[in-house]
């Protein structure tokens, strides 16, 4: 006999709306069963014991399961750079993927991650992190795609599209979560225009893509914790944007007032039965809230599960995990993500690509050359074995050369090695200890400890023990159990935007004796380089580049791959050109200005602007045309004027001439990465909806497009002096 849930699935397959089928299912549930679905349903103490002893990387988090009715629950595994349960393919971090400016590639990444998720029993992916990079010191910068709302939205939509071919996906962290150390305590104040025009458009883009689930953020916005924020969850997300999926809290400390969180529209507290259960049970018994309120939350969760066929999703064979195709994709992404920031000529020839005769000596230097360094050591950490380090990649690729490396040698010895070498490659930057998720002791969460139940429900505990027993995925201990509290590394917001003194000293000493010194930076966001960059001829942004990153690096250095990554953020000459950032702040105001927009407004030139990156070939843009309409079409021709095939990222920026409203000088509205063979010309069309240049009307809370003459600039980066311009006339104000 099929269970009630199976019957609901069958009905949905034969045309009943998932909402109706879910409501019928909820009608069969007891009040206890409904309340059980309002949190992960896993008792806190057994859950916390599991997570802190490596369980995080051993099994998905389960929620909303009701055995009596056959409701299987959902099974969450984190992201964004791959599956975090068991061994898995590590993709380059999202920020690196942002640098590809290639949403279709991101669809393929999502597709691969989705397939790997189905091999460990997960059906809810936690990897669509699109908080805007307001400041590069943010410890989790690497988990998002960059500083620009349009670009971040398109990349996140790509990942969602790919992943949701196989599983449901979660959009996070809603909203304004772009500081790490203070995340549990900080209040972010923001005005309506900045909220809707800067910090939310990319979330809306991904809601429109049809994402299943939204995770709220830890911080508060305008005085209300995000997990209890009616304006964000009910008014904006569900009301204004029409989101019909379910909303979950961020983990463990994601809300404080259980009843309020339910009233605000949050459906599931994750991952345990923790803060909301007791107050909700007593509010129900006192008649302060209705059973219908509980029922609507559960209905939203079940509607989404039924819509996505949860419980009957195909299971992937284990052999899909880290298969050749996924490792090759990870490498392709890494190759397309690396950004060549500087490439000067030494003795008449550009330093890169490397042009080395057989038998040449390559000196590889730096603390990070030979270590496994694939990013954050918090919730996004992927247990990838056999990571190809930069040193390994270079050694394998240049098999006919001699590679010298001795990370432990004194600086004098390293300098001597550099002197004897034909070229020096210095690999510097950060690791998960300097930037990443921060799981430190926090005074901000201490008051919440009193909200945790004193003991576990024994029956639920037994059920979870069974789940643990039946769901254990192997990940090597040396990767799974790491520093400090047994599971996660320290991470947090960066203390400085510069390289460490030891790295700078190494670069300086080596470049003094070796004119062909190439610096490769491993980091998750901008690094300020002004104190040393003039001393070296070549700099490459290498990112945390995944399972095969070292191989990708060698291919880019050698020229087997022509670099095509572009910066998804600005790199300033000086920290003072960026917005205010205090990693210990208790309150902060976010205004309209950050990144390239702020530099433009303040008249500061960038060291490397948003969208910038060199290639081993060159491109020339010509014949721009703009066709206006509700969707504006922009065309131009791109000629590869060099002798190598390559890829250019066509970037369209719009600005309003003589605007009466304060707005960015230019704002990205469309982009397209295109491959152009040497000597060839390709006609490119980009389009953007007029809503991309709309202004929030803070009186009606609607949108309008300012009338007047707008300029569309089509260039290779923001502020490109070679950019082509075309005018776009908007005869009068358009209300949207």
Residues that bind ligand BGC (CB under 6 A): 78, 126, 172, 250-251, 379
Mark whether 250 is an active-site residue: yes
Pick the closer one to ligand BGC by CB: 78 or 106: 78
Pick the closer one to ligand BGC by CB: 172 or 666: 172
Dist. CA 151–CA 554, nearest whole Å = 28
Q: Maximum CA pair distance of the chain?
A: 83
CB under 8 Å to 687, separation ≥6 — which residues? Answer: 631, 632, 633, 634, 670
On whether the CB atoms of residues 269 and 39 are closer than 8 A, the answer is yes
Structural Rg of the chain based on CA atoms: 26
Dist. CA 235–CA 682, nearest whole Å = 45
Token pair, residue 477, equals 């201990």
Closest residue to ligand BGC: CB criterion:
379
Task: DSSP for 462-504, please give it.
Answer: HHHHHHHHH------HHHHS-STTSS----BS-S-SBPPHHHH
Dist. CA 372–CA 366, nearest whole Å = 13
Pick the closer one to ligand BGC by CB: 75 or 172: 172
Q: How far is CA 237 from CA 231, 305, 643, in A?
A: 8, 19, 50
Pick the closer one to ligand BGC by CB: 72 or 139: 139
Q: How far is the CB of 384 from ligand BGC (least distance, A)?
A: 17
DSSP state of 250: P
Dist. CA 89–CA 325, nearest whole Å = 10
Using DSSP, state whether 284 is helix, strand or coil.
Answer: helix
Pick the closer one to ligand BGC by CB: 143 or 332: 143
Burial of 520 (0-12, 13-18, 19+ CB in 10 A): buried
Pick the closer one to ligand BGC by CB: 479 or 527: 479
Pick the closer one to ligand BGC by CB: 172 or 594: 172
CB under 8 Å to 70, separation ≥6 — which residues? Answer: 2, 3, 4, 5, 6, 311
Dist. CA 169–CA 580, nearest whole Å = 33
Dist. CA 190–CA 592, nearest whole Å = 9
Pick the closer one to ligand BGC by CB: 379 or 389: 379
User: Nearest Cα to 523, choosing from 133, 20, 183?
Assistant: 133
Pick the closer one to ligand BGC by CB: 102 or 250: 250
Which residues make beta-bridge pairs with 286? Answer: none
Dist. CA 91–CA 129, nearest whole Å = 15
Helix (H) or strand (E) holding 307: helix 291-307
Token pair, residue 276, equals 């909301």
On whether the CB atoms of residues 123 and 75 are closer than 8 A, the answer is yes
Q: How far is the CB of 436 from ligand BGC (least distance, A)?
A: 11
Using DSSP, state whether 84 is helix, strand or coil.
Answer: coil
Q: How far is the CB of 78 from ligand BGC (least distance, A)?
A: 4
CB under 8 Å to 412, separation ≥6 — which residues? Answer: none
Pick the closer one to ligand BGC by CB: 251 or 619: 251
Q: How far is the CB of 251 from ligand BGC (least distance, A)?
A: 4
Dist. CA 265–CA 285, nearest whole Å = 20
On whether the CB atoms of residues 553 and 522 are closer than 8 A, the answer is no
DSSP state of 320: G
Q: How far is the CB of 568 from ligand BGC (least distance, A)?
A: 20
Dist. CA 180–CA 440, nearest whole Å = 10
Phi, then psi, of 433 in degrees rounded to 5 = -75, -30
Dist. CA 474–CA 648, nearest whole Å = 42
- CB count within 10 Å of CB 450 equals 6
Strand 74-78 relative to strand 724-730: parallel, antiparallel, unpaired?
unpaired
Q: How far is the CB of 269 from ligand BGC (least distance, A)?
A: 13
- CB count within 10 Å of CB 214 equals 26
Strand 349-350 relative to strand 646-656: parallel, antiparallel, unpaired?
unpaired
Pick the closer one to ligand BGC by CB: 63 or 646: 63
Q: How many helices (H) and strands (E) does the chain have?
A: 21, 32
Token pair, residue 534, equals 């003039």
Q: How far is the CB of 485 from ligand BGC (least distance, A)?
A: 13
Dist. CA 176–CA 178, nearest whole Å = 6
Q: How far is the CB of 250 from ligand BGC (least distance, A)?
A: 5
Q: How far is the CB of 109 from ligand BGC (least distance, A)?
A: 18
Pick the closer one to ligand BGC by CB: 172 or 397: 172
Q: How far is the CB of 445 from ligand BGC (least distance, A)?
A: 11
Q: How far is the CB of 362 from ligand BGC (least distance, A)?
A: 39
Q: How far is the CB of 79 from ligand BGC (least distance, A)?
A: 8
On whether the CB atoms of residues 247 and 232 are closer than 8 A, the answer is no
Dist. CA 483–CA 564, nearest whole Å = 36
Q: Which of 39, 111, 250, 600 is catalytic?
A: 250
Q: How far is the CB of 216 from ligand BGC (least distance, A)?
A: 10
Pick the closer one to ligand BGC by CB: 213 or 510: 213
* Positions marked active-site: 250
């Amino acid at each position: 006999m099929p269970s009630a849930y199976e019957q609901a699935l069958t009905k949905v397959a034969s045309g009943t709306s998932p909402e109706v089928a879910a409501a019928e299912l909820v009608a069969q549930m007891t009040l206890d069963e409904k309340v059980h679905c309002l949190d992960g349903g896993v008792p806190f103490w057994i859950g916390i014991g599991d997570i802190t002893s490596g369980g995080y990387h051993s099994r998905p988090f389960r929620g909303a399961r009701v055995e009596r009715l056959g409701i299987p629950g959902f099974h969450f595994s984190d992201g964004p750079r791959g599956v975090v349960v068991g061994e898995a393919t590590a993709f380059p971090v999202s920020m690196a993927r942002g640098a590809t400016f290639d949403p279709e590639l991101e669809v393929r990444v999502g597709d691969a991650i989705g397939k790997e998720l189905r091999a460990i029993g997960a059906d809810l992916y936690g990897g669509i992190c699109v908080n805007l990079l307001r400041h590069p010191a943010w410890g989790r910068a690497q988990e998002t795609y960059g500083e620009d709302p349009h670009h971040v939205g398109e990349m996140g939509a790509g990942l969602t599209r790919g992943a949701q071919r196989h599983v449901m996906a979660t959009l996070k962290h809603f909203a304004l979560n772009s500081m790490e150390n203070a995340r549990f305590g900080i209040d972010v104040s923001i005005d309506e225009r900045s909220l809707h025009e800067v910090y939310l458009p990319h979330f809306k883009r991904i809601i429109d893509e049809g994402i299943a689930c939204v995770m709220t953020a830890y911080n508060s916005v305008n005085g209300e914790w995000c997990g209890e924020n009616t304006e964000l969850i009910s008014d904006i997300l569900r009301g204004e944007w029409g989101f019909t999926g379910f909303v979950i809290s961020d983990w463990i400390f994601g809300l404080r007032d259980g009843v309020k969180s339910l009233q605000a529209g949050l459906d599931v507290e994750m991952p345990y039965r923790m803060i909301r259960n007791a107050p909700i049970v007593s509010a129900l018994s006192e008649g302060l809230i209705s059973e219908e309120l509980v029922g609507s939350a559960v209905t939203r969760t079940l509607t989404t599960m039924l819509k996505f066929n949860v419980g009957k999703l195909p299971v992937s064979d284990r052999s899909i995990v880290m298969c050749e195709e996924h490792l090759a994709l990870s490498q392709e992404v890494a190759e397309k993500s690396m950004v060549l920031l500087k490439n000067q000529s030494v003795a008449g020839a550009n330093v890169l690509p490397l042009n080395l005769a057989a038998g040449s000596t390559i000196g590889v230097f730096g603390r990070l050359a030979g270590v496994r360094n694939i990013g954050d050591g918090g919730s996004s950490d992927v247990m990838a074995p056999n990571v190809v380090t930069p040193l390994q990649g270079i050694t394998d690729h240049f098999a006919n050369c001699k590679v010298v490396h001795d990370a432990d040698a004194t600086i004098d010895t390293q300098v001597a090695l550099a002197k004897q070498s034909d070229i020096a490659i210095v690999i510097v930057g950060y690791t998960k200890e300097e930037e990443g998720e921060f799981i430190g002791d926090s005074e901000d969460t201490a008051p919440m400890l009193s909200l945790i139940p004193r003991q576990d429900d024994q029956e639920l505990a037994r059920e979870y023990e069974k789940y643990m027993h039946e769901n254990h995925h192997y990940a090597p201990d040396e990767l799974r159990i790491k520093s400090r509290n047994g599971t996660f590394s320290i991470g947090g917001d960066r203390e400085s935007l510069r390289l460490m003194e030891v790295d700078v000293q190494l670069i300086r000493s080596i470049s003094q004796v070796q004119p062909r010194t190439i610096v490769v930076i491993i980091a998750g966001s901008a690094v300020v380089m002004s104190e040393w960059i003039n001393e070296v001829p070549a700099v490459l942004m290498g990112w945390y580049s995944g399972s095969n990153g070292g191989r990708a690096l060698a291919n880019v250095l050698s020229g087997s791959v022509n670099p095509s990554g572009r910066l998804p953020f600005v790199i300033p000459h000086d920290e003072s050109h960026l917005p205010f950032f205090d990693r210990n702040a208790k309150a902060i105001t976010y205004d309209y200005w950050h990144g390239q927009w702020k530099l433009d407004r303040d008249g500061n030139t960038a060291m490397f602007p948003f969208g910038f990156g060199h290639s081993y070939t060159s491109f020339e843009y010509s014949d721009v045309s703009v066709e206006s309409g509700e969707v504006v079409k922009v065309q131009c021709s791109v000629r590869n004027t060099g002798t190598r095939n390559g890829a250019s990222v066509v970037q369209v920026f719009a600005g309003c001439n003589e605007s009466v409203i304060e707005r960015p000088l230019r704002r990205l509205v469309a982009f397209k990465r295109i491959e152009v063979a040497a000597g060839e010309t390709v006609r490119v069309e980009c389009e953007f909806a007029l809503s991309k240049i709309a202004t929030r009307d803070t009186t009606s809370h609607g949108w309008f497009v300012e009338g007047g003459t707008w300029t569309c600039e089509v260039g290779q980066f923001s502020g490109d002096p070679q950019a082509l311009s075309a005018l776009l006339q908007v005869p009068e104000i358009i209300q949207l």
